Every structure is written in C-alpha cells, then in structure tokens.
Amino acid sequence: MTDITQHTAARPRADFLHRFSVRDAGTLIGLVVILAVFGALVPGFFAERNLINILQQSSINACLALGMTLVIISGGIDLSVGPTAALSAVISASMLVAGVPFPLAIAAGFAIGLACGLLNGVLVAYVGLQPFIVTLGTLSTYRALALIYTGGNPVLGLPAGFRAIFNGSLFGLPLAVVIVAVVALIAWIILKKTPFGEYLLAVGGNEEAAYIAGVPIARTKIAAYMISGLLAALAAQILIGRLGAAEPILGNLWELDAIAAAAIGGASLMGGKGSVVGTILGAVILGSMRNGLTLMNVQSFYQLLATGLIILAAMLIDRVTRGRG
Amino acid sequence: MSPRLQFEGISKEFPAVRALSDVSFSVGAGEIHGLLGENGAGKSTLLRILSGVYRPTAGSVLIDGKPVTLNNPVAARAAGVAMIHQELQQVPRLSVAQNMFLGHPLTRGSIFVARREQERRAAEALAAIDPTIDPAAPLGSLKVAQRQIVEIGRALLDRARIVAMDEPTSSLTPSEFERLAEVIARLARDGVAVVYVSHKLDEVFGICQRATIMRDGVVVGSVDLAQVSEKAVVSMMVGRELAQEQHRSHASAEIRLSVRGLASPTKVHDVSFDLHRGEVLGIAGLVGSGRTELLRLLAGADRASSGAVEIDGKAVKLSSPRDAIAAGIGLVPEERKREGIVPLRSISNNMALASMGVFAPRGVIDHTRLKRVAAEKMKRVNLRPFLLDRPIRLFSGGNQQKAIIGRWLAAGTRILLFDEPTRGIDVGAKAEIYHLIEELAAEGHSVIVVSSELPEVIRLADRVLVMRDGTVAAELGRASLSEQAIAAHAIPQTEIEAGKAQGHRAGA
C-alpha cells in the first residue's frame, strides 16, 4: 500500500501526462493538422495578428461551449444558449443606454443568464422533463421575450466607455480572449478538482448509481444549466461590447457551434464524458477552419460543408479508437 | 448418429487475450447440457460464437454432423440456433407477438405486417408452453419469468434445433424456475439440444444430464451429473478446493439500528426489527416480498410513508440517500450496473463518490489523500487487478462489488445494506465477498443481507427475518435456521394449500 502511494506521488510528470488524456491529445493533433494545412495553403496564416484573430473569433463560441460541456457531461443539453445571450444582451444594452452604471447593467445581464439557466435546470431536475425538449421550448421562449422586449429593434448607441472594457487588451491579447481563458481555467478546475465536477460526471455517467451514492442530483443539474446560462450572458456582453449594439436576434444557432465544439473535444451526448481542454481545442479548430477558409476566399457554403465534415470526422475517429460504446 | 451440436477445437483470440483454446464437446439431440465455469472462463465467448456474434479463430461448429458457418446472428438463426440471453433482448412496448417476430416480421409478400397472423402463430407456439400468455399483450406487462417463456416460444417459432440459455433464472422465484424447467424439458423431449449456462449448481444438477466445465478458456472436463458431486464440480470450476467455512457470530448486545412500524406506500407494511452492533442480519423471502423495497427505505432511496428509525438510540430521518449516508447507512445495490457503478469513472472515483465532502474539505479535492485512501480501502477489499485509475467498467462483477463496498468503508458507514451481494459473481469471488462481510461484522459494522440464495443467507446470517407480502413473517435464530424453515415461512399460505407451486403469483 505504502509503495503504491509513493509511486504515484513521486511521478508528477507522469501525473501531468495522465491528466492530458489520450482523447485530448487526439483533438490537439487534429488542430495541428488543420493549422498545418492552412499554413501551407494560406500565406500569412501564421502571422501573429491572424493567430490572435483566430483566438478572438473563437472566444465567444468557446465561452458558450464550456457551459455546454458541463451540461452535456451531466447528461443534458442546452439548446437555449443563443436566446439566453440575446435576452441578456438586450436588457444590459437598454440599461446602458438609459445611463445605468456599467457594473449594474452587466450584473443584470448575468442575472438574466443565471435565471434562464435556473428555469431550464428546474424543469429538467425537479419537473423531470427531457433536457432537449425543455431547452427547445425555452429557446423559443427566451428569443420571443427578447423580441417582445425590444419590439424587434436593435438597441443602439452603447456608451463608448462600456465598449472600451471589452475591446481592451491584456498582455497583448484581446481582453475577450483573456476572459475566456480564465473561464476555461475555472471550468477545468471545477471539473477536475471539485466535488461538483465529480458529481457532474457521476450524474451523467449513471444517475441512479449517483443517487444511491448520495450525490445531490437536482442541485448538480441545476448548477450546470445556470453556469451555461451565465456563460451565455458573458458571451453576450463580449459581443455587444464589440458591436456597440444589441440585436434581439443575436446568437442565432449559437447552440449548434457550441455543441459541435464540445463534441469535437470529446464530450459524449450520452453524458458522463467530456473535457474542458478538448472543448477549447474544438472551438479553436472550428475557428481556425473558418478563418482559413475565409482567407482562401472559399464560399460560405463550403465553410458550412467543412464544419459538418470536421464534426463527422471527429465522431468517426472517436468510434474507431474507442471501439463500441 | 452424430450429435446435434458439436464444438471441435474452437479457439478464439482477441488482441492480447486468448479467450478460448481448443474447446471441444458435444450435445446430443434431446439433451440438456450444462455449461459451467467462473466469470471469464469463456462460456459467454463460446455462446457468442454459437450465436454468430464472434467468429472462432480456429476450429468449427458442427450441427447434425455438418460443419456450419456462423458468420452473423442471422446465419446462426437460419442454422437453427436460438439464443436466450440473460438480459432479455426484447422491446417492452411492443406486443408479445411483435417481439416473437422481431427482426423478421411476417408480411406474406406484401409491404404490410400481418399482425393477426403473427398473433395466431405466436399463440400456437405459446400454447404448448404457457397458454396463459396473451400474444397481443404488451410484453412490458409480463413478468420476467413469462418473458423468458416468450423467448422460448420464439425459439419454437423459429423451429430451433439448438437453444442456448445464458443464466435464464437469475431473477426467477423457485416456482417460476420449476415452470421454466418444465418448458426446457419439453423442448428437450422434442429433440432440441439445450445448452444451459448458470451459476446455480443446484439448478444445473436438477435439470441437466451432462455438463461441461470450463476454466480459463479451456474445457476442464465433461461430466455425467448423475455420477459426480457438486463439490467435485466446484473444484473443477475453481481449480482448487474451496474450504467450507464455519459460521462465526460477532453480534454484540448493543442495538445499533432500531426499526419500528416501517411502511412504504405500496410494498412494505409495518416492519419492525433491531439490528445489533457486529450483527449480520439475513432477510429472506420471495422476489416481490418487499425485501429490496425495505432496504431502499433504509437507504433513503425511497421515502417511507410511516414508521420510525433510530440509530444508536437517536431518531433519524431518511428522506434521501444523503440523509442515510450522513446517518451511517450505505446500500450495496442488487443491480450493480444500474445502481452501483459509474462505468466510465475510475475505481478511485467510484469509491470516493459518497464521501466527496471528506476528500474536499475546502471545496477542492485533495487527490493525494483520495489516492491514499483508495489504495488503503481497495487493498482492504482485495481488488484485482489492483489498478485504481482504471475505469470500473473494465473490472469483473466481483471486483466492482468490492469497489462499492470500499465506497462505504471510505464514507465511514457503520450499517451496510447488501441486496443480493453475490448476484452475477463467480464462485471464487463469492467466497471473498462472504469473507469481507464477516470481517466487516467482526470490526463492529452492522450488516443486513438480502438474498434469494438460501445457502448464502444461512452461511452469513446470525439471524434471519423472513419476509412475506411486505411484512416480517418470521424471525429465525441460528439454531432454527434451515432452508426448509425459511421456505415454509416465505411461501404464502394460499400457495401451500394449492399444493405444488403451479402458476403462483407471489412475485406480483
């Protein structure tokens, strides 16, 4: 017994490699291959500016995908992230335009995100409805609320001071990228280092067994949806900061990109499996592909095609390497 | 005349594993042939070869003396092989007839399914074995025993010449088993060769004429069951003599758990008993007598409608598993896959699941400590192979069970509830689980063991409660403990009056 503990404790490098799973390594290889291909085909693809561009373009999707990953791991899905972001955006934006202080307006946006997630979570965890149907319903509901609230018009003229916050940069990186990196770090810690992360994996992996083992099922699920809502709201703030306006139709189809990034990164829609590192890599894969194809002047139809093929390829590789299951 | 079914030098290699090595034996027409061996002995692999799921690396299968190629399940079916799985592969929402025609619906050349005709033929096939089953009824409305019979009906429908059954009785009551045994005997009289896989030796001795014993992928021997003892067969299976253990009680006078008038809304009525420190209390009774439901009440998994529970003299509320765990109660459930393990997570993580608060006192999991405790507890339960980071799904049933026991040890549980502790666990691991339960009791844990296997109850329990129709029908001390005594209290009086256990409904 003692020699076993010493064995594991004495090998931090092996421990690190162990944490960086085989699946994540696979996603990383995928990213490297895609970068190499575009690097060879597109002059200037590896320019520092373009690489920062890719990160910036991926940041919003990465932000949503992190929340989506936690929800998917818990055995659920959140289709309502786009409309949640829209609702959060128009409410923050109209407060800002009305002259409410920035922190308060941003906090209100976050509160909206949390509330949207709470409703999703309660309907799933306490009422026992299927996550797909619940969030399909709230997808329409939240979108409708955003449209009704604004009368369908964009909220224009956000104060320059607010825009400056999210358009700033830190350590030479756009602030949005830094924010999402911090969020990713927090998500990674949650998943790897906290009981809540373990509960997410257990609830998604086998809810009945988790229940018998004393895992707080409802709280865990609700927390996952609330985090997803909160991150949708954060994405909304980043976006309206960049655009200077909030449209009620903002975030259309965001949920699909977020699910794609999570799935490419190794999350299983059956629940119980997913990786923060993988999801970030997945979001960057999607982002660099769009960036590269745009620089090559490829028609957007083909970009869509490429996205589809990447998702299918990732799933096929998953299948082949994992065997059945 | 050549035998109905013959395995000739079958070998099967997987990457890195040799699952079967030169397996040869034969089963005659009209013979019921037992296939015995511990988990991992190769029985399932052999059945998968017979049913066309796997292809052998070498060797051949002969039916009526002719080699057959069983490349896929359809080919196996066409060759007259019917497979009846342990976990029934049926669709509960479809009707009995639809299930019997699953995969090859009767269309009579049109594009439509001839439902009436399907039901007529299904009824015809079932008439011979269980005329009470309505072919139009949804399969989900049938009891497990009847579903088994539907599977056999399906084999009849396919005019199967060989029927392979994998653990068909793991969830049947004794009288349901008798009914099934009759049906199997009828199959054999019609000239079908039956291959019967079961962990329960008494059943195999009861219905089979011969048996083949496998160990580590090879045939240890084929025996005439009339001429060997159970003990001899067990030592062939395990490869050594299993020591007969004497029961030793560690119960003290101190009452740990006191249950008064406990009831659930449906299945449990007015149950009262005490459990002492260091005591192993057995709970026997037929399936459906409320045993599992009682354990679930105590584990907080279901809510009681009335009654009181005290632990060490203090009243406790058990309205969720969290409550029960906090009070020191842990459940080792019957259906390990469904209620016990989180398959993709490691042994360590599965172990730690019930005591996350302990491992994360400041909100962040102390992985060093978790690994240390996991190593300690898994050593304690003798996990094999000792790979704490390996996903639990890759372990055998017995070792998964050990990890679940370790989970409660890590959580500081003092009252352990076992529901069918050795279901689906092979003979060698069974003995280990028994040892472990005894050691836990000796250390002062209090244990409740629910089991359908009477020898198991008698082996382990200091005292036995016999449940019937949701309540405690009798309490038997060690002195008055016997299979006959338990059975006499477990079976409803009406059934005894009705004579031999015919079509009884105690499971309802």
Name the E strands within B132-252: 162-166, 193-197, 210-215, 218-224
Chain B: residue whose CA lies nearest to A211: B321
Relative orientation angle of helices A48-73 and A81-97, to the nearest 10 degrees: 120
Whole-angstrom Cα Rg for chain B: 24
Q: Helix or strand or coil: residue B313?
A: coil
* DSSP category for residue B415: E
Q: For residue B357, give how far its alpha carbon lies from the nearest alpha carbon of chain A (Å).
A: 7
Would A1 be classed as within a structural domain?
no
* pLDDT tops 60 at residue B315: yes
Residuewise pLDDT in 10s, chain A (325 residues): 334 433 443 344 444 445 567 888 889 999 999 999 999 999 999 999 999 999 999 999 999 999 999 999 999 999 999 999 999 999 999 999 999 999 999 999 999 999 999 999 999 999 999 999 999 999 999 999 999 999 999 999 999 999 988 888 888 899 999 999 999 999 999 999 999 999 999 999 999 999 999 999 999 999 999 999 999 999 999 999 999 999 999 999 999 999 999 999 999 999 999 999 999 999 999 999 999 999 999 888 888 898 899 889 888 887 776 643 3
CA–CA dist B274, B472 (Å, integer): 12
Kindly determine whether residue A214 and residue B324, on different chains, have CB atoms separated by under 8 Å: yes
Domain count, chain A: 1
Residue linked to tokens 């014993």: B213
> A37-53 burial string, b = 16+ CB within 10 Å, else e?
ebeeebeebeeeebeeb
B388 and B288, same domain (yes or no): no
Contacts 24+ apart (CB under 8 A), B128-134: B128/B156, B128/B186, B129/B153, B129/B156, B129/B183, B129/B186, B130/B179, B130/B183, B132/B503, B133/B96, B134/B96
For residue B261, what is the enclosing H or E element?
strand B255-263
Of the candidates A153, A41, A197, A166, the one whose C-alpha atom is nearest the C-alpha of residue A102 is A166
Dihedral of alpha carbons B452, B454, B459, B462, sign? positive
CA–CA dist B407, B416 (Å, integer): 11
For chain B, give the mean pLDDT.
89
How many Cα atoms are found within 13 Å in the side-chain-facing hemisphere of B215? Answer: 14
> Which chain A residues touch B333 with a CB distance below 8 Å?
209, 212
For residue B457, what is the enclosing H or E element?
helix B454-460
CA–CA dist B358, B370 (Å, integer): 9
Q: Which domain holds residue B275?
A: 255-328+414-497
Would A269 be classed as within a structural domain?
yes
Q: For residue B331, give how far its alpha carbon lies from the nearest alpha carbon of chain A (Å).
A: 7
Query: Which residues 293-322 of chain B have a CB within 8 Å of chain A?
Result: 299, 301, 320-322
Would B313 be classed as within a structural domain?
yes
Q: Phi and psi at residue B76, in whole multiples of 5°?
A: -65, -40
Would A302 be classed as within a structural domain?
yes
How much is the ipTM here?
Answer: 0.85
CA–CA dist B16, A49 (Å, integer): 50
Q: Is B17 on the interface with A (CB under 8 A)?
A: no
Chain A: residue whose CA lies nearest to B349: A198
The domain that holds A195 is classified in CATH as 1.10.3470
pLDDT in tens, B245-260: 678 899 999 999 999 9
Peptide bond into B105 cis (omega under 30): no
Would B187 be classed as within a structural domain?
yes
Would B505 be classed as within a structural domain?
no
B80 and B219, same domain (yes or no): yes
B389 and B454, same domain (yes or no): no
B385 and B288, same domain (yes or no): no
B122 and B23, same domain (yes or no): yes
Identity of the residue in A1, A189, A205 whose CB atom sits nearest the CB atom of B344:
A205
Query: What is the reported pLDDT for B426?
Result: 78
> Which chain B residues touch A219 with a CB distance below 8 Å?
none
Would A112 be classed as within a structural domain?
yes
DSSP string, B6-70: EEEEEEEEETTEEEEEEEEEEE-TT-EEEEE--TTSSHHHHHHHHTTSS--SEEEEEETTEEE--
Q: The tokens of B428 are what?
A: 């060698």
Chain B: residue whose CA lies nearest to A3: B375
> Which chain B residues touch A209 with a CB distance below 8 Å?
333, 338-342
Listed in sequence order, the residues at least 6 apart from B121 whose beta carbon sits closer than 8 Å to its beta carbon are B97, B106, B157
Angstrom CA distances, B388 to A8, A204, B60, B373, B492, stand at 11, 21, 40, 11, 46
Lowest mean pLDDT among A76-85, B444-453, B493-502: B493-502
Mean pLDDT across the stretch B394-402?
91
- Cβ pair B59, B22 in contact under 8 A: yes
Which one is predicted more confidently, B275 or B90? B275
Mean pLDDT across the stretch B86-107?
84
* pLDDT tops 50 at residue B350: yes
Kindly determine whether residue A195 and residue B322, on different chains, have CB atoms separated by under 8 Å: no
B227 and B317, same domain (yes or no): no
Residues in chain A: 325
Would B247 be classed as within a structural domain?
no
- Cβ pair A88, A104 in contact under 8 A: no
pLDDT in tens, B200-229: 888 899 999 999 999 888 999 999 999 999
- Cβ pair A238, A166 in contact under 8 A: yes
pLDDT band at B171 (very low <50, low <70, confident <90, very high): low
B323 and B357, same domain (yes or no): no
Query: What is the reported pLDDT for A247?
Result: 95
Kindly determine whether residue A206 and residue B341, on different chains, have CB atoms separated by under 8 Å: yes
Q: Which domain holds residue A261?
A: 54-322
CA–CA dist A325, B111 (Å, integer): 34
Query: What is the reported pLDDT for A14?
Result: 46
* pLDDT tops 50 at residue B427: yes
Identity of the residue in B353, B357, B379 whose CB atom sits nearest the CB atom of A202:
B353
B347 and B478, same domain (yes or no): no
* DSSP category for residue B391: B
The residues facing B10 across adjacent strands are: B23
Mean pLDDT across the stretch B85-100?
83
Q: For residue B348, give how far its alpha carbon lies from the nearest alpha carbon of chain A (Å).
A: 11
Which one is predicted more confidently, B157 or A276? A276
Listed in sequence order, the residues at least 6 apart from B246 whose beta carbon sits closer than 8 Å to its beta carbon are none
Would A197 be classed as within a structural domain?
yes
B281 and B428, same domain (yes or no): yes
Kindly determine whether residue A198 and residue B353, on different chains, have CB atoms separated by under 8 Å: yes
How many Cα atoms are found within 13 Å in the side-chain-facing hemisphere of B496? Answer: 7
Query: What is the reported pLDDT for B106?
Result: 85
Dihedral of alpha carbons B90, B93, B99, B105, sign? negative
The domain that holds B263 is classified in CATH as 3.40.50.300
Would A34 be classed as within a structural domain?
no
B104 and B93, same domain (yes or no): yes
Would B250 be classed as within a structural domain?
no
Would B503 be classed as within a structural domain?
no
B66 and B18, same domain (yes or no): yes
* DSSP category for residue A246: B
Q: Is A130 on the interface with B (CB under 8 A)?
A: no
> Which chain A residues touch B375 with a CB distance below 8 Å?
1, 4-5
HEC profile of A267-324: CCCCCCCCCHHHHHHHHHHHHHHHHHHHHCCCCHHHHHHHHHHHHHHHHHHHHHHHCC
Would B171 be classed as within a structural domain?
yes
Count CB-CB contacts under 10 A for residue A36.
Answer: 12
B63 and B179, same domain (yes or no): yes
Q: The tokens of A18 are what?
A: 């162990």
Domain count, chain B: 3
Q: Of B238, B268, B298, which residue sits at a domain end? A: B238
Query: What is the reported pLDDT for B242?
Result: 61
Q: Which amino acid is at B60?
A: S
Would B244 be classed as within a structural domain?
no
